Structure 1
Amino acid sequence: MPLCNAIRTFARQRPDALAVCLSGSRLDYGTLHERITRLHGALSALPGAAPRPGVALPESGRLFALSAGNHPAAASLLVTALSTPHAVALLDPGWPEALLVQTLTRLPPDAVFCLSSQGGLIEAAGRLGIPAIRVDTADLDAFLGPPQELPWTEPATTFMVGFTSGTTSRPKGFARSRHSWSASLGAGREAFALTEHSHTFAPGPLAHGITLYALAETLDLGAGFHGIESFELAAAHRAMAEARRIVAVPTMLGALCRGPAQEQITEITTAGAKLDPKLLARARDTFPKARLHEYYGASELGFVSLNTHGRESSSAPAHSVGHPFPHVALSIRKDRAEVPQGETGTIFVRGDLAIDGYLWGGRNSGFRREGPWATVGDIGRLNSDGSLSIMGREGGMVITSGHNVYPQEIETALAGIPGIEGAVVMGVTHASRGQEIIAILQGEAAIDEIRARLAIALPRYKLPRHFYRLTDWPLTGSGKIARATLMDWLKRKDARLVTLAN
């Protein structure tokens, strides 16, 4: 990824221009470039470890782990991985400490950058002989070396080791090459209508792909990136006031829609879950001058498809996730063969944005390849206009009384009912039916109205048997609805789930 060229150029041309602002802590391009050269010098001086299978580093490259969340120091460390021969293992500080330690032991880095509160991680690093630099202390300034000119980075080398839970609770590790993000930056610039004025606010965690990618593409443009250490609405509105663009998952976008209209925002990018019609309408009202780019993708695949929503219309049917992203081909496949248009199957992608495979985990689940085609196991169909609709994920299909049912289809029908603000549909074990369908709702729609409208939209075997209402969704660290938590609440009959009269 030639991000070093962009940052070097902007540091020379506009050294005082804002590069990154995290919760009020600001870095201009001149200071950012100087800090990266000093981090590069310090990392290069570390003794290199033995080669790590699946992680491609040049001889001068080092792998460092980062577990500092959205602490202001994280910005320069992440940009160092994006623009030097070194790579970052991006640990999520929201993980249980035992999982952080386990991951560190499985993939020992050359250094760990963390918070002073992460005692177990620091202790584990000490046992492994790995330097632990606490970014919220004087450690980081003491670690910095003399400035060292940034060398050219090889496209095939690794710049990031990421982790995804996928369909299990145990994160799967994967390495991403510089070339894969380099290719997507060019395609994304055109698809998302980005310019040097696309000052971006991304409220999510930098440990997750959508926010980290927003940082990379913003700096590649020479624009300013704005983030916050943790989501709080007043802080989000302050950061958003300086931005012209928002990048956020739908749940966070929904939170940003509370409050007065934001006419300074001209572009919005969202991903991570399907955008429901009510949220799209609210976003159009809150951001009246913005186009909204909804893309479907995955950490392992990169961009897959894109639907751009204007003030009155969309580039593809609103129920879909749009048409294939530039330079990406789609194939709906079953039993290693492509199915006809309109039929349901597993979504496969062909392009140069996908990873090669997992470093560990994911056997018989998640990412896999069939020749040049790659998938994460999502189920969908290609519509008559070539747009893509998502039905669910392999293993997420509900089999009830012998019928195959995809929850996404029911969630889409529920989203169109007035008074429903959100819906999650799942299958739970049933003695005679195998599984039965349940729906968890947010909103004030009456149960009789819900049943009546669903009966018109869906065949009887797809109708949920039980409905529950809640006030607030449990969320993952990346801001997505935590379905595993909902299932746990169902099993424990948690009081936060209120049964609707049947």
Structure 2
Amino acid sequence: MGFWQAVASWAESCPNNSAVIAPSGKLTFSQLAGRAHRLARTLKSYDQQRIGILTRDPITMAVGFHGTSLAGKTLVVLDPSWPQALLESMLGNLACKLVITDYPNRLDKAGLADPLVISEEPDRSPWELHEHENERELLIICTSGSTARPKAISRTAYSWLASLAAGAAMLMAPEEAVTLSPGPISHGLGLYSLIESIHTGGTFIGAGHWRSEVLDSLLSQVSCNRIVSVPTILDRLSTHLEPQHLSNIRWVISGGETLPVQLVSRLQALPALESCIEYFGSSEHSLIAYALRDTTAKDAGCFSGRLFPGVSVHFHDVDPDTGSGAAYIDSPYNANGYDPATAPPIARCGNSTSILDQGMQSDDGTITFMRREDGMLNLNGNNIHPSEIKDVLAILNILDAKVQVERQNGHARLIVHALSPAVDSGLLHKRFFELLPTFKVPHEIIFHKEWPLSFSGKSTAIWTANAMPEPLTRIRLR
């Protein structure tokens, strides 16, 4: 069943059921179908194929996605956290002349695209129950990859429908699921969980980005039984939300970095929990592998699980000592690749594609993926590669730096430790906020005279508070 057919079907069978609950209000399936239908009629009057969307609101995203799908257009997901210069550059590169948005002022500044605000008035004319060809470009979603420059990933309707069909059963997304996804709605995991929930007739709850007080307010209106998030936010949910809001959780779905054993133990202690499922995937490949997590596993700094149905993997440049190599994925869920205006072509081998994740597969079919070499960090649900921050530092001739997430007074903060004479704080602030989204800007840069050494005389990569050398100076950026 296609995206629009699913929405229209739920609108007819359960029109008053909540499809989306967000800070901006509640959206029933009937309202979603009516607003998406009106948007589709509006979009058909435009020649542009690519339609941008710039929003943090799950309701705007839900209507925008299904309206563009029905109109046969391509939805380009733009990140509200991007600096203005980056937003303007991406609008130009991706040929977005029309943007659905809650932030028309940002587009007025750019002058590169016209803003379109979605009408809340439904179109009650008969539904246009038809689908466009599955191989057409449905969606472009951007990821930072391992550089500060976002890569625009092109997905077909077929690839996303295939992943929804395979993932719904494995990732516990039945019609009765009330799914909380507390991370950014413009990022892959948040967007996918929104569309998955609507497609299967469930209810989606989201704040659009992490805000514990807003989530508490939303969960006081409706009880959720399923959570889709990353370990960093799952950890914060258990400490920041009222305990009663988690008392009915039956399914926890985790993506991103590996779930720590201590967090798995806390999740398993939830009174109604039936399963905790961790999956490995990427915006380029969607679903790759999954694992049921219990308290018997040990922290190994990597993911081990089983491939989703229809996925196969082979490896290039296998290390004879470790048995690991670069994973190439052949799957019906694979994206087309990168838009050439934003990134070089994706690595290919026949029908398989790779973003050079390192992994290995054992004789019993278990697949293991290692962490990225640059040690990807996750802060409040946002993926951050240290190389992105180091690229900005290099512009300022700060060439020796360590980037890590540290907990201070109960809060996770992005901290840079650097060997360098102190530089002008105003220049640091200007460059970082020009070149990186706000969530990737370090909270603080701490300059040191030298690195601390371990007992073996090696530089210590990750420091504890006791091992921290006396700083020369500290510059706070946010």
| Partner in structure 1 of residue 235 of structure 2 | 254
- Distance in 2, matches of 1:143 and 1:37, equals 7
Q: CA separation of 1:223/1:172 partners in 2, compared to 1, >3 Å: closer, same or farther?
A: same
| Partner in structure 2 of residue 345 of structure 1 | 325
Residue pairs, 1:47-446, within 5 angstroms: 48-49=47-48, 62-70=49-57, 72-116=59-103, 119-125=105-111, 128=112, 130-134=113-117, 140=119, 149-240=128-219, 241-258=222-239, 259-260=242-243, 262-286=246-270, 288-310=272-294, 320-334=303-317, 343-360=323-340, 361-363=342-344, 367-383=346-362, 385-393=364-372, 396=374, 440=404
Q: Is the 8 A contact 1:295 1:321 kept in 2?
A: no
- Distance in 1, matches of 2:90 and 2:371, equals 29
Which contiguous aligned blocks of 4+ residues in structure 1 show a shift greater than 4 angstroms? 141-148, 312-319, 338-342, 424-428, 435-444, 482-488, 490-493
Q: Among residues 404, 413, 418, which one is paired with 1:473 in the alignment?
A: 413
Q: CA deviation at 1:318?
A: 9.4
Provide Cα deviations, 1:84-138, integer angstroms capped at 9, x if missing partner: 412211000100011111111122235212234x53422434xx4x431245xxx
| Partner in structure 2 of residue 18 of structure 1 | 18
Q: CA deviation at 1:342?
A: 5.5
Letter in 1 for 2:195: A
- Distance in 2, matches of 1:165 and 1:41, equals 33
Q: CA separation of 1:287/1:229 partners in 2, compared to 1, >3 Å: closer, same or farther?
A: farther
| 1:474 match: secondary structure | strand
Under a length normalisation based on structure 1, what TM-score does the superposition of the two structures give?
0.72
Q: CA separation of 1:122/1:484 partners in 2, compared to 1, >3 Å: closer, same or farther?
A: closer
- Distance in 2, matches of 1:354 and 1:484, equals 27
5+ long unaligned stretches in structure 1: 50-61, 397-406, 412-423, 429-434, 445-468, 476-481
| Partner in structure 2 of residue 402 of structure 1 | none
Q: Is the 8 A contact 1:214 1:247 kept in 2?
A: yes
- Distance in 1, matches of 2:74 and 2:283, equals 17
- Distance in 1, matches of 2:105 and 2:407, equals 42
| 1:149 match: secondary structure | coil
- Distance in 1, matches of 2:121 and 2:363, equals 60
Q: Is the 8 A contact 1:82 1:216 kept in 2?
A: no
| Partner in structure 2 of residue 43 of structure 1 | 43
Q: Is the 8 A contact 1:180 1:354 kept in 2?
A: yes
| 1:74 match: secondary structure | helix
Q: CA separation of 1:285/1:232 partners in 2, compared to 1, >3 Å: closer, same or farther?
A: same
- Calculate the aligned-residue CA RMSD, in Å: 3.8
Q: CA deviation at 1:152?
A: 1.6
- Distance in 2, matches of 1:146 and 1:22, equals 27
Structure 1 position 501 matched with structure 2 position 467 = yes
Q: CA separation of 1:492/1:78 partners in 2, compared to 1, >3 Å: closer, same or farther?
A: farther
Q: CA deviation at 1:193?
A: 2.9
Q: Is the 8 A contact 1:237 1:256 kept in 2?
A: no
Q: CA separation of 1:112/1:171 partners in 2, compared to 1, >3 Å: closer, same or farther?
A: same
| Partner in structure 2 of residue 448 of structure 1 | none
Q: CA deviation at 1:164?
A: 1.1
- Distance in 2, matches of 1:210 and 1:93, equals 16
Letter in 1 for 2:37: T
Q: Is the 8 A contact 1:81 1:160 kept in 2?
A: no
5+ long unaligned stretches in structure 2: 378-383, 391-398, 416-437, 450-462, 469-478
Q: CA separation of 1:27/1:443 partners in 2, compared to 1, >3 Å: closer, same or farther?
A: closer
Q: Identity of counterpart residues, as a percentage?
A: 24
| 1:354 match: secondary structure | coil
Q: Is the 8 A contact 2:34 2:124 kept in 1?
A: no
- Distance in 2, matches of 1:318 and 1:167, equals 19
Q: Is the 8 A contact 1:341 1:384 kept in 2?
A: no
Q: CA deviation at 1:437?
A: 11
| 1:296 match: secondary structure | strand
- Distance in 1, matches of 2:185 and 2:314, equals 31
Q: Is the 8 A contact 2:50 2:76 kept in 1?
A: yes
* Larger relative contact order (CA 8 Å, sep ≥ 6): 2
Q: Is the 8 A contact 2:185 2:208 kept in 1?
A: no
Residue pairs, 1:455-474, within 5 angstroms: 472-474=412-414
Provide Cα deviations, 1:56-106, integer angstroms capped at 9, x if missing partner: xxxxxx321111222643321123234541221100010001111111112
Q: CA separation of 1:207/1:439 partners in 2, compared to 1, >3 Å: closer, same or farther?
A: closer
Letter in 2 for 1:10: W
| 1:195 match: secondary structure | coil
Provide Cα deviations, 1:195-242, integer angstroms capped at 9, x if missing partner: 110121111121111111111111111111111144222322343452
| 1:27 match: secondary structure | strand
Moved more, 318-327 or 194-203: 318-327
Q: CA separation of 1:133/1:350 partners in 2, compared to 1, >3 Å: closer, same or farther?
A: same
Q: CA separation of 1:318/1:123 partners in 2, compared to 1, >3 Å: closer, same or farther?
A: closer
- Distance in 2, matches of 1:321 and 1:443, equals 28
Q: Is the 8 A contact 1:89 1:160 kept in 2?
A: yes
Provide Cα deviations, 1:359-382, integer angstroms capped at 9, x if missing partner: 133338xx4112222111212233
| 2:414 match: secondary structure | coil
Q: CA separation of 1:373/1:341 partners in 2, compared to 1, >3 Å: closer, same or farther?
A: farther
Q: Is the 8 A contact 2:142 2:152 kept in 1?
A: yes
Letter in 1 for 2:412: D
Q: CA deviation at 1:158?
A: 1.3
Q: Is the 8 A contact 2:230 2:255 kept in 1?
A: yes
Q: CA separation of 1:278/1:376 partners in 2, compared to 1, >3 Å: closer, same or farther?
A: same
| 1:156 match: secondary structure | coil
